Amino acid sequence: MPDIDLNRLVEPDRVHRSVYTDPDIFDLEMEHIWEKTWVYCGHVSQVPGVGDYHTLVIGRQSMIMVRDHDGAVHVLYNRCPHRGVQICGNPRGNTGKGFVCSYHAWSFHLDGRVRAIPLMKGYEGTRWSTADPDCSMKAAARVDSYRGFVFASLWPDGPGLAEFLGDAKVAFDDMCDRSPEGEVEIVPVCHRVVQHSNWKFFMENQLDALHPSVTHQSTGVPARRVEQRVKADKGAAPLFFHYLSAFATSFDQWDSVQTVNFPHGRGILKAYMGLRPTDPDTLEYEALMKRAYGEQKAEEFLSRSIHHVLVYPYLSVQSPLQQLRCLRPIAPNKTLSEIWHFRLKGAPEAIYRRSLWYYNLVNSPATMINADDLENWTKGQWGLEASKAGEWVSFHRNHGDDEERDGVLYSTRGTSEVVMRNQFRAWTQYMRDALAASAKA
Protein backbone atom coordinates (compact mmCIF):
# COMPACT_ATOMS: atom_id res chain seq x y z
CA MET A 1 0.00 0.00 0.00
CA PRO A 2 1.43 3.43 -0.88
CA ASP A 3 2.55 5.62 2.02
CA ILE A 4 0.08 8.51 1.71
CA ASP A 5 -0.70 10.86 4.60
CA LEU A 6 -3.83 12.80 3.68
CA ASN A 7 -3.38 15.18 6.59
CA ARG A 8 -0.11 16.34 5.02
CA LEU A 9 -1.63 16.65 1.53
CA VAL A 10 -4.89 18.55 2.07
CA GLU A 11 -5.26 21.54 4.38
CA PRO A 12 -8.33 23.80 4.65
CA ASP A 13 -6.89 26.48 2.35
CA ARG A 14 -4.27 24.65 0.26
CA VAL A 15 -3.30 21.25 -1.14
CA HIS A 16 0.03 19.62 -1.89
CA ARG A 17 1.11 19.56 -5.53
CA SER A 18 1.52 15.76 -5.43
CA VAL A 19 -2.26 15.25 -5.53
CA TYR A 20 -1.96 16.26 -9.20
CA THR A 21 1.28 14.45 -10.05
CA ASP A 22 1.83 11.33 -7.92
CA PRO A 23 1.25 8.05 -9.85
CA ASP A 24 0.39 6.18 -6.63
CA ILE A 25 -2.36 8.67 -5.85
CA PHE A 26 -3.65 8.38 -9.40
CA ASP A 27 -3.74 4.58 -9.13
CA LEU A 28 -5.80 4.84 -5.95
CA GLU A 29 -8.18 7.26 -7.65
CA MET A 30 -8.72 4.90 -10.55
CA GLU A 31 -9.30 1.83 -8.41
CA HIS A 32 -11.24 3.33 -5.52
CA ILE A 33 -13.05 6.30 -7.05
CA TRP A 34 -13.70 5.67 -10.74
CA GLU A 35 -14.06 1.90 -10.43
CA LYS A 36 -16.32 2.06 -7.38
CA THR A 37 -18.58 5.07 -7.83
CA TRP A 38 -21.34 5.66 -10.39
CA VAL A 39 -19.82 6.69 -13.72
CA TYR A 40 -21.67 8.17 -16.67
CA CYS A 41 -21.89 5.77 -19.63
CA GLY A 42 -24.08 7.57 -22.15
CA HIS A 43 -27.63 8.40 -23.11
CA VAL A 44 -30.26 5.83 -24.06
CA SER A 45 -30.65 7.52 -27.46
CA GLN A 46 -27.09 6.44 -28.31
CA VAL A 47 -28.32 2.83 -28.47
CA PRO A 48 -31.84 3.16 -29.94
CA GLY A 49 -32.13 -0.24 -31.61
CA VAL A 50 -31.51 -3.87 -30.71
CA GLY A 51 -27.78 -4.63 -30.90
CA ASP A 52 -26.75 -0.96 -30.97
CA TYR A 53 -23.69 -0.44 -28.80
CA HIS A 54 -21.43 2.34 -27.55
CA THR A 55 -18.01 1.72 -26.00
CA LEU A 56 -16.52 3.69 -23.11
CA VAL A 57 -13.98 3.49 -20.32
CA ILE A 58 -14.73 3.33 -16.60
CA GLY A 59 -11.50 3.89 -14.71
CA ARG A 60 -9.18 1.59 -16.61
CA GLN A 61 -11.88 -0.84 -17.72
CA SER A 62 -13.10 -0.95 -21.31
CA MET A 63 -16.90 -1.29 -21.30
CA ILE A 64 -19.81 -1.71 -23.73
CA MET A 65 -23.26 -0.15 -23.38
CA VAL A 66 -25.71 -2.18 -25.49
CA ARG A 67 -29.46 -2.42 -26.16
CA ASP A 68 -31.01 -5.87 -25.68
CA HIS A 69 -34.02 -7.45 -27.42
CA ASP A 70 -36.32 -6.58 -24.52
CA GLY A 71 -35.26 -2.93 -24.60
CA ALA A 72 -33.00 -3.17 -21.55
CA VAL A 73 -29.64 -1.38 -21.66
CA HIS A 74 -26.70 -3.43 -20.38
CA VAL A 75 -23.16 -2.34 -19.52
CA LEU A 76 -20.63 -5.14 -20.05
CA TYR A 77 -16.87 -5.47 -19.75
CA ASN A 78 -15.42 -5.29 -23.26
CA ARG A 79 -13.52 -8.54 -22.93
CA CYS A 80 -13.91 -12.10 -24.15
CA PRO A 81 -13.62 -14.55 -21.22
CA HIS A 82 -11.62 -16.96 -23.37
CA ARG A 83 -8.33 -15.14 -24.09
CA GLY A 84 -9.18 -11.58 -23.03
CA VAL A 85 -9.59 -10.06 -26.49
CA GLN A 86 -11.78 -6.97 -26.69
CA ILE A 87 -15.14 -7.83 -28.21
CA CYS A 88 -15.89 -4.41 -29.75
CA GLY A 89 -13.06 -2.44 -31.32
CA ASN A 90 -15.15 0.43 -32.68
CA PRO A 91 -16.53 3.36 -30.64
CA ARG A 92 -20.08 2.48 -31.69
CA GLY A 93 -22.03 0.25 -34.05
CA ASN A 94 -24.55 -2.56 -34.23
CA THR A 95 -23.58 -6.09 -33.27
CA GLY A 96 -26.76 -7.76 -34.56
CA LYS A 97 -28.36 -10.44 -32.42
CA GLY A 98 -25.29 -10.99 -30.27
CA PHE A 99 -21.55 -10.52 -29.83
CA VAL A 100 -18.93 -12.65 -31.58
CA CYS A 101 -15.26 -12.58 -30.62
CA SER A 102 -13.06 -11.97 -33.66
CA TYR A 103 -10.30 -14.26 -32.36
CA HIS A 104 -11.93 -17.68 -31.80
CA ALA A 105 -15.62 -16.98 -32.55
CA TRP A 106 -16.98 -17.39 -29.07
CA SER A 107 -20.46 -15.85 -29.20
CA PHE A 108 -22.59 -14.16 -26.57
CA HIS A 109 -26.13 -12.95 -26.08
CA LEU A 110 -26.65 -9.18 -25.79
CA ASP A 111 -26.77 -9.45 -22.01
CA GLY A 112 -23.30 -11.06 -22.08
CA ARG A 113 -24.35 -14.69 -21.47
CA VAL A 114 -22.33 -17.15 -23.51
CA ARG A 115 -24.27 -18.46 -26.49
CA ALA A 116 -21.85 -20.88 -28.16
CA ILE A 117 -18.25 -22.05 -27.91
CA PRO A 118 -16.91 -23.47 -31.21
CA LEU A 119 -15.40 -26.97 -31.13
CA MET A 120 -16.78 -27.60 -27.66
CA LYS A 121 -15.52 -31.17 -27.84
CA GLY A 122 -12.00 -29.94 -27.04
CA TYR A 123 -13.15 -28.72 -23.63
CA GLU A 124 -14.49 -32.05 -22.37
CA GLY A 125 -13.02 -32.93 -19.00
CA THR A 126 -11.96 -29.32 -18.27
CA ARG A 127 -13.61 -26.74 -16.02
CA TRP A 128 -14.97 -24.83 -19.05
CA SER A 129 -18.57 -25.34 -20.07
CA THR A 130 -21.37 -23.08 -21.27
CA ALA A 131 -23.00 -23.58 -17.87
CA ASP A 132 -20.03 -21.94 -16.14
CA PRO A 133 -20.73 -18.22 -15.54
CA ASP A 134 -17.03 -17.53 -16.08
CA CYS A 135 -17.61 -18.35 -19.75
CA SER A 136 -19.89 -15.34 -20.11
CA MET A 137 -18.98 -11.70 -20.59
CA LYS A 138 -18.92 -9.99 -17.20
CA ALA A 139 -21.51 -7.29 -16.54
CA ALA A 140 -21.09 -4.12 -14.50
CA ALA A 141 -22.17 -4.73 -10.91
CA ARG A 142 -24.89 -2.07 -11.12
CA VAL A 143 -26.57 -0.17 -13.96
CA ASP A 144 -29.19 2.53 -13.56
CA SER A 145 -30.43 5.60 -15.38
CA TYR A 146 -31.96 8.97 -14.62
CA ARG A 147 -34.10 10.67 -17.27
CA GLY A 148 -32.39 8.69 -20.00
CA PHE A 149 -28.80 9.24 -18.79
CA VAL A 150 -27.19 5.86 -18.10
CA PHE A 151 -24.69 5.26 -15.29
CA ALA A 152 -22.87 2.14 -14.14
CA SER A 153 -20.92 1.16 -11.06
CA LEU A 154 -18.37 -1.64 -11.10
CA TRP A 155 -18.80 -2.05 -7.35
CA PRO A 156 -21.80 -3.93 -5.91
CA ASP A 157 -22.11 -1.87 -2.74
CA GLY A 158 -22.63 1.78 -1.93
CA PRO A 159 -25.33 4.41 -2.46
CA GLY A 160 -27.80 4.08 -5.31
CA LEU A 161 -27.67 6.38 -8.32
CA ALA A 162 -30.27 8.85 -7.03
CA GLU A 163 -28.38 9.25 -3.76
CA PHE A 164 -25.06 9.61 -5.59
CA LEU A 165 -26.41 12.37 -7.86
CA GLY A 166 -28.11 14.13 -4.97
CA ASP A 167 -28.82 17.81 -5.66
CA ALA A 168 -26.97 17.53 -8.97
CA LYS A 169 -30.03 15.74 -10.42
CA VAL A 170 -31.23 19.24 -11.28
CA ALA A 171 -28.76 19.23 -14.21
CA PHE A 172 -30.68 16.45 -15.96
CA ASP A 173 -34.06 17.77 -14.87
CA ASP A 174 -33.22 21.20 -16.21
CA MET A 175 -32.05 19.85 -19.55
CA CYS A 176 -35.04 17.55 -20.09
CA ASP A 177 -37.62 19.98 -18.71
CA ARG A 178 -36.60 22.50 -21.38
CA SER A 179 -37.98 20.10 -23.98
CA PRO A 180 -41.71 20.39 -24.77
CA GLU A 181 -41.72 16.58 -24.69
CA GLY A 182 -39.67 16.27 -21.50
CA GLU A 183 -36.87 14.36 -23.24
CA VAL A 184 -33.59 14.95 -25.04
CA GLU A 185 -31.72 12.91 -27.65
CA ILE A 186 -28.03 12.67 -28.33
CA VAL A 187 -26.32 14.51 -31.16
CA PRO A 188 -24.03 11.68 -32.32
CA VAL A 189 -20.94 13.82 -33.00
CA CYS A 190 -18.73 14.00 -29.89
CA HIS A 191 -15.84 16.43 -29.45
CA ARG A 192 -12.99 14.51 -27.81
CA VAL A 193 -10.01 16.39 -26.39
CA VAL A 194 -6.94 14.97 -24.67
CA GLN A 195 -5.87 17.36 -21.94
CA HIS A 196 -2.22 17.14 -20.88
CA SER A 197 -3.11 17.75 -17.28
CA ASN A 198 -4.59 16.07 -14.23
CA TRP A 199 -8.36 15.71 -14.20
CA LYS A 200 -8.70 18.02 -11.18
CA PHE A 201 -7.69 21.07 -13.24
CA PHE A 202 -10.82 20.67 -15.36
CA MET A 203 -13.17 20.19 -12.42
CA GLU A 204 -11.80 23.17 -10.50
CA ASN A 205 -11.98 25.38 -13.58
CA GLN A 206 -15.66 24.81 -14.34
CA LEU A 207 -16.95 26.89 -11.41
CA ASP A 208 -13.91 29.20 -11.23
CA ALA A 209 -15.44 32.64 -11.83
CA LEU A 210 -12.12 34.44 -11.39
CA HIS A 211 -10.35 33.19 -14.51
CA PRO A 212 -12.67 34.08 -17.45
CA SER A 213 -11.91 37.82 -17.51
CA VAL A 214 -8.20 36.98 -17.58
CA THR A 215 -7.90 33.75 -19.52
CA HIS A 216 -10.55 34.54 -22.15
CA GLN A 217 -10.01 38.29 -22.48
CA SER A 218 -8.33 37.91 -25.87
CA THR A 219 -11.56 36.39 -27.21
CA GLY A 220 -14.20 38.13 -25.10
CA VAL A 221 -13.06 41.72 -25.65
CA PRO A 222 -12.84 41.58 -29.48
CA ALA A 223 -16.17 39.70 -29.59
CA ARG A 224 -17.79 42.45 -27.53
CA ARG A 225 -16.45 45.13 -29.88
CA VAL A 226 -17.83 43.33 -32.92
CA GLU A 227 -21.13 42.70 -31.13
CA GLN A 228 -21.49 46.39 -30.30
CA ARG A 229 -20.66 47.38 -33.89
CA VAL A 230 -23.23 44.95 -35.29
CA LYS A 231 -25.86 46.28 -32.87
CA ALA A 232 -25.07 49.85 -33.89
CA ASP A 233 -25.34 49.00 -37.59
CA LYS A 234 -28.32 46.62 -37.52
CA GLY A 235 -30.08 47.26 -34.23
CA ALA A 236 -29.36 43.76 -32.90
CA ALA A 237 -26.62 41.14 -32.99
CA PRO A 238 -27.00 37.34 -33.19
CA LEU A 239 -26.85 35.56 -29.84
CA PHE A 240 -23.65 33.74 -30.77
CA PHE A 241 -21.68 36.99 -30.39
CA HIS A 242 -22.91 37.12 -26.79
CA TYR A 243 -21.64 33.59 -26.16
CA LEU A 244 -18.12 34.94 -26.58
CA SER A 245 -18.49 38.54 -25.37
CA ALA A 246 -19.84 37.28 -22.01
CA PHE A 247 -16.32 36.10 -21.21
CA ALA A 248 -15.26 39.76 -21.03
CA THR A 249 -17.53 40.30 -18.00
CA SER A 250 -15.83 42.45 -15.34
CA PHE A 251 -14.48 41.08 -12.06
CA ASP A 252 -17.23 42.92 -10.16
CA GLN A 253 -19.89 41.21 -12.25
CA TRP A 254 -18.28 37.81 -11.78
CA ASP A 255 -18.23 38.44 -8.03
CA SER A 256 -22.02 38.73 -8.12
CA VAL A 257 -22.44 35.25 -9.70
CA GLN A 258 -23.01 32.78 -6.91
CA THR A 259 -21.73 29.23 -6.62
CA VAL A 260 -23.62 26.68 -4.53
CA ASN A 261 -21.41 23.85 -3.31
CA PHE A 262 -23.13 20.66 -2.24
CA PRO A 263 -21.69 17.71 -0.30
CA HIS A 264 -19.49 15.20 -2.15
CA GLY A 265 -17.96 17.88 -4.40
CA ARG A 266 -21.09 18.63 -6.40
CA GLY A 267 -21.80 22.24 -7.28
CA ILE A 268 -23.72 24.79 -9.32
CA LEU A 269 -22.57 28.01 -10.98
CA LYS A 270 -25.61 30.26 -11.25
CA ALA A 271 -26.63 31.69 -14.61
CA TYR A 272 -24.89 34.81 -15.88
CA MET A 273 -25.20 34.84 -19.68
CA GLY A 274 -28.83 35.89 -20.04
CA LEU A 275 -30.05 33.32 -22.57
CA ARG A 276 -33.70 34.39 -22.90
CA PRO A 277 -33.81 36.94 -25.70
CA THR A 278 -37.15 38.11 -27.11
CA ASP A 279 -36.54 37.26 -30.76
CA PRO A 280 -39.28 35.42 -32.74
CA ASP A 281 -37.55 32.02 -32.44
CA THR A 282 -37.41 32.24 -28.65
CA LEU A 283 -41.01 33.43 -28.42
CA GLU A 284 -42.16 30.50 -30.61
CA TYR A 285 -40.26 28.09 -28.38
CA GLU A 286 -41.67 29.57 -25.18
CA ALA A 287 -45.19 29.32 -26.62
CA LEU A 288 -44.60 25.61 -27.24
CA MET A 289 -43.40 25.19 -23.65
CA LYS A 290 -46.50 26.93 -22.28
CA ARG A 291 -48.78 24.72 -24.35
CA ALA A 292 -46.94 21.63 -23.11
CA TYR A 293 -46.68 22.48 -19.41
CA GLY A 294 -48.95 25.44 -18.70
CA GLU A 295 -47.71 28.98 -18.18
CA GLN A 296 -46.64 28.61 -14.54
CA LYS A 297 -44.70 25.37 -14.97
CA ALA A 298 -43.09 26.53 -18.22
CA GLU A 299 -41.88 29.70 -16.52
CA GLU A 300 -40.47 27.64 -13.66
CA PHE A 301 -38.50 25.51 -16.11
CA LEU A 302 -37.26 28.41 -18.26
CA SER A 303 -36.22 30.65 -15.37
CA ARG A 304 -33.95 28.24 -13.47
CA SER A 305 -30.71 30.05 -12.67
CA ILE A 306 -28.10 27.52 -13.82
CA HIS A 307 -25.03 27.75 -16.01
CA HIS A 308 -22.89 24.76 -14.88
CA VAL A 309 -23.69 21.78 -12.68
CA LEU A 310 -20.84 19.56 -11.52
CA VAL A 311 -21.25 15.87 -10.68
CA TYR A 312 -17.95 15.27 -8.92
CA PRO A 313 -15.46 13.94 -9.85
CA TYR A 314 -15.95 13.73 -13.61
CA LEU A 315 -19.06 15.40 -15.07
CA SER A 316 -19.88 18.99 -16.04
CA VAL A 317 -23.39 19.67 -17.37
CA GLN A 318 -24.46 22.94 -19.01
CA SER A 319 -28.15 22.18 -19.04
CA PRO A 320 -29.51 25.45 -20.56
CA LEU A 321 -27.34 24.78 -23.61
CA GLN A 322 -27.70 20.98 -23.70
CA GLN A 323 -23.99 20.30 -23.22
CA LEU A 324 -22.35 17.56 -21.18
CA ARG A 325 -18.63 17.07 -20.61
CA CYS A 326 -17.35 13.81 -19.15
CA LEU A 327 -13.79 13.10 -18.00
CA ARG A 328 -11.99 9.80 -18.59
CA PRO A 329 -8.60 10.04 -16.79
CA ILE A 330 -5.72 8.32 -18.58
CA ALA A 331 -2.67 9.17 -16.46
CA PRO A 332 -1.73 11.65 -13.71
CA ASN A 333 -0.96 14.18 -16.44
CA LYS A 334 -3.39 13.13 -19.17
CA THR A 335 -7.19 13.25 -19.30
CA LEU A 336 -9.68 12.54 -22.07
CA SER A 337 -12.60 14.98 -22.15
CA GLU A 338 -15.74 13.89 -24.02
CA ILE A 339 -18.02 16.77 -24.96
CA TRP A 340 -21.57 15.76 -25.92
CA HIS A 341 -24.45 17.82 -27.25
CA PHE A 342 -28.20 17.06 -26.95
CA ARG A 343 -31.28 18.11 -28.88
CA LEU A 344 -34.49 19.11 -27.08
CA LYS A 345 -37.26 16.89 -28.43
CA GLY A 346 -40.12 18.92 -29.82
CA ALA A 347 -38.23 22.24 -29.76
CA PRO A 348 -37.88 24.36 -32.93
CA GLU A 349 -34.86 23.79 -35.15
CA ALA A 350 -33.69 27.35 -34.46
CA ILE A 351 -33.34 26.59 -30.74
CA TYR A 352 -31.23 23.55 -31.54
CA ARG A 353 -29.04 25.60 -33.89
CA ARG A 354 -28.60 28.27 -31.21
CA SER A 355 -27.22 25.77 -28.72
CA LEU A 356 -25.13 24.13 -31.44
CA TRP A 357 -23.36 27.47 -31.95
CA TYR A 358 -22.32 27.40 -28.30
CA TYR A 359 -21.19 23.78 -28.56
CA ASN A 360 -18.85 24.66 -31.40
CA LEU A 361 -17.83 28.19 -30.40
CA VAL A 362 -16.96 27.42 -26.78
CA ASN A 363 -16.49 23.67 -26.31
CA SER A 364 -15.03 22.28 -29.55
CA PRO A 365 -11.32 21.41 -29.90
CA ALA A 366 -10.92 24.28 -32.39
CA THR A 367 -12.40 27.10 -30.33
CA MET A 368 -10.23 29.80 -28.81
CA ILE A 369 -12.07 29.50 -25.48
CA ASN A 370 -11.21 25.82 -25.01
CA ALA A 371 -7.67 26.40 -26.28
CA ASP A 372 -7.10 29.09 -23.61
CA ASP A 373 -8.12 26.68 -20.85
CA LEU A 374 -6.12 23.78 -22.24
CA GLU A 375 -2.97 25.91 -22.35
CA ASN A 376 -3.39 27.01 -18.73
CA TRP A 377 -4.05 23.48 -17.50
CA THR A 378 -1.01 22.14 -19.36
CA LYS A 379 1.23 24.88 -17.97
CA GLY A 380 -0.27 24.26 -14.55
CA GLN A 381 0.67 20.59 -14.78
CA TRP A 382 4.20 21.47 -15.84
CA GLY A 383 4.51 23.93 -12.97
CA LEU A 384 3.34 21.43 -10.38
CA GLU A 385 5.77 18.80 -11.64
CA ALA A 386 8.66 21.18 -10.81
CA SER A 387 9.40 19.99 -7.27
CA LYS A 388 11.80 22.82 -6.32
CA ALA A 389 9.46 25.63 -7.32
CA GLY A 390 7.09 25.23 -4.37
CA GLU A 391 5.06 22.49 -2.73
CA TRP A 392 1.56 23.96 -2.35
CA VAL A 393 -1.43 24.96 -4.44
CA SER A 394 -3.33 27.91 -2.98
CA PHE A 395 -7.08 27.99 -2.40
CA HIS A 396 -6.96 30.91 0.03
CA ARG A 397 -9.31 33.30 -1.77
CA ASN A 398 -12.16 34.23 0.61
CA HIS A 399 -11.22 31.39 2.93
CA GLY A 400 -13.12 31.83 6.18
CA ASP A 401 -15.99 33.69 4.54
CA ASP A 402 -17.88 30.62 3.32
CA GLU A 403 -21.47 30.33 4.48
CA GLU A 404 -22.43 26.74 5.36
CA ARG A 405 -26.06 25.73 5.84
CA ASP A 406 -27.10 22.08 6.17
CA GLY A 407 -23.81 20.91 4.69
CA VAL A 408 -24.07 23.22 1.67
CA LEU A 409 -21.38 25.87 1.15
CA TYR A 410 -22.47 29.17 -0.38
CA SER A 411 -20.04 31.67 -1.84
CA THR A 412 -20.16 35.18 -0.43
CA ARG A 413 -18.37 36.22 -3.61
CA GLY A 414 -18.55 34.58 -7.02
CA THR A 415 -14.78 34.52 -7.32
CA SER A 416 -14.30 32.69 -4.02
CA GLU A 417 -12.20 29.52 -4.14
CA VAL A 418 -14.79 27.75 -2.01
CA VAL A 419 -15.41 25.62 -5.12
CA MET A 420 -11.98 24.04 -4.89
CA ARG A 421 -12.11 23.70 -1.11
CA ASN A 422 -15.42 21.88 -1.41
CA GLN A 423 -14.09 19.53 -4.07
CA PHE A 424 -11.14 18.60 -1.91
CA ARG A 425 -13.46 17.83 0.98
CA ALA A 426 -14.99 15.19 -1.26
CA TRP A 427 -11.63 14.03 -2.62
CA THR A 428 -10.25 13.58 0.90
CA GLN A 429 -13.19 11.40 1.91
CA TYR A 430 -12.88 9.30 -1.23
CA MET A 431 -9.18 8.81 -0.55
CA ARG A 432 -9.70 7.97 3.14
CA ASP A 433 -12.04 5.21 2.02
CA ALA A 434 -9.50 4.11 -0.60
CA LEU A 435 -6.65 3.89 1.90
CA ALA A 436 -8.84 2.00 4.37
CA ALA A 437 -9.79 -0.49 1.65
CA SER A 438 -6.15 -0.90 0.61
CA ALA A 439 -5.10 -1.54 4.21
CA LYS A 440 -7.65 -4.36 4.48
CA ALA A 441 -6.61 -5.97 1.20
Q: What is the DSSP string of 305-367?
A: --SEEEETTTEEEEGGGTEEEEEEEEETTEEEEEEEEEEETTS-HHHHHHHHHHHHHHSSTT-
Tell me: cis bond preceding 277? Omega within 30 of 0 counts.
no
Please report, in tens digits, the pLDDT of each residue of the chain (441 residues total): 567 889 899 999 999 999 999 999 999 999 999 999 999 999 999 999 999 999 999 999 999 999 999 999 999 999 999 999 999 999 999 999 999 999 999 999 999 999 999 888 888 888 878 888 999 999 999 999 999 999 999 999 999 999 999 999 999 999 999 999 999 999 998 999 999 999 999 999 999 988 988 999 888 899 899 989 999 999 888 888 888 888 888 888 888 888 999 999 999 998 776 677 788 899 999 999 999 999 999 999 999 989 889 999 999 999 999 999 999 999 999 999 999 999 999 999 999 999 999 899 998 888 889 999 999 999 999 999 987 889 999 999 999 998 899 989 988 888 999 999 999 999 999 999 888 887 776
CA torsion through residues 79, 85, 86, 88, sign:
negative
Confidence at residue 15, expressed as pLDDT on a 0 to 100 scale: 97
Confidence at residue 1, expressed as pLDDT on a 0 to 100 scale: 54
Which residues, including other chains, have CB under 8 Å from residue 91's CB and lie 6 or more apart? 54, 55
Instruction: Report the distance separating Cα 355 and Cα 10, nearest Å.
Output: 39
Confidence at residue 2, expressed as pLDDT on a 0 to 100 scale: 64
Contact 338, 35 (CB under 8 A): no
Mean predicted lDDT score pLDDT of the chain: 93
Instruction: Report the distance separating Cα 209 and Cα 177, nearest Å.
Output: 26
Instruction: Report the distance separating Cα 410 and Cα 438, nearest Å.
Output: 34
> Is-same-fold flag (39-146; 166-440)?
no
Q: Give the number of other CB atoms < 10 A from CB of residue 414.
A: 23
Q: Does domain 166-440 have CATH number 3.40.50.740?
A: no
Confidence at residue 274, expressed as pLDDT on a 0 to 100 scale: 67
What is the CA angle 275-372-263, rounded to 5? 65
What are the residue ranges spanned by the domains of the chain?
Answer: 39-146, 166-440
SS3 at position 395: coil
Contact 47, 66 (CB under 8 A): yes
Report the Cα 271 to chain-centroid distance in Å. Answer: 19
CATH architecture of 39-146: 3-layer Sandwich (2.102)
Q: Give the number of other CB atoms < 10 A from CB of residue 296.
A: 8
Nearest to 295 by CA among 285, 305, 287: 287
